[in-house]
Amino acid sequence: MSDVDAGAGTPSNDAGEPTNTDNTAAPAAGTAAPASADAAAGTQDPKPTEPVVPESYELKMPDGVELDQAAATEFTAIAKELKLDQAAAQKLADIGAKMATRQAEAHAQLVETWTEQVKTDKDIGGDKLEENLGVARKAIDTFGSPELKALLNSTGLGNHPEVVKLAVKVGKAISEDRFVGGAPKSNANTDPAKKLFPNMN
């Protein structure tokens, strides 16, 4: 082998030991490599904070919505079972209130539809509306209990075309006259139920 070949290879110091040419410090013997940041910080997630469950919930309802006490008691028991804090319970109550409001609005629209159907019905509405409502009122006053009147009025069923038609038929069956105690004809936009149950409004 030539002298050039013998000189090539890993540089060494005077003692014949190889030297590090890339200026990177090698770890000392018996020393472990430094751990990563994630390993040093630990990989376990922190323990979640337990929600603060109150003794009672102060639920606020939007304007026009009344808090039902029986429903509130039941809601409180469920909220405590689920360990809801005040904020989470209020969010659920808000959703419930919105649903109740939408249902009430939908029912009110349905009752309004019934009212218009009565007014325009070819048999009992139009020019004959006031007369027929007077006849129907006599039937309700004669055979209807206060509880029935309250039910028809509170649910809006007193405006239902079929209920009004039935009352008209009954009223005509018990009356000798075609017109019984009806109010003077007018163009006022009056609900049939208010004509049938004036004392319930």
The model scores a pTM over 0.85? no
Structure confidence by residue, pLDDT tens digits, 81-123: 999 999 999 999 999 999 999 999 999 999 999 999 999 999 9
| 17 confidence band (pLDDT: 50, 70, 90) | low
Q: How far apart are alpha carbons 111 and 117 in whole angstroms?
A: 10
Tokens 């000798």 sit at which residue? 176
Structure confidence by residue, pLDDT tens digits, 172-182: 998 754 444 55
* Angle at which helices 129-143 and 161-173 cross, to 10°: 80
Tokens 């109550």 sit at which residue? 93
DSSP secondary structure code for residue 18 in this structure: B
Q: How far apart are alpha carbons 132 and 128 in whole angstroms?
A: 6
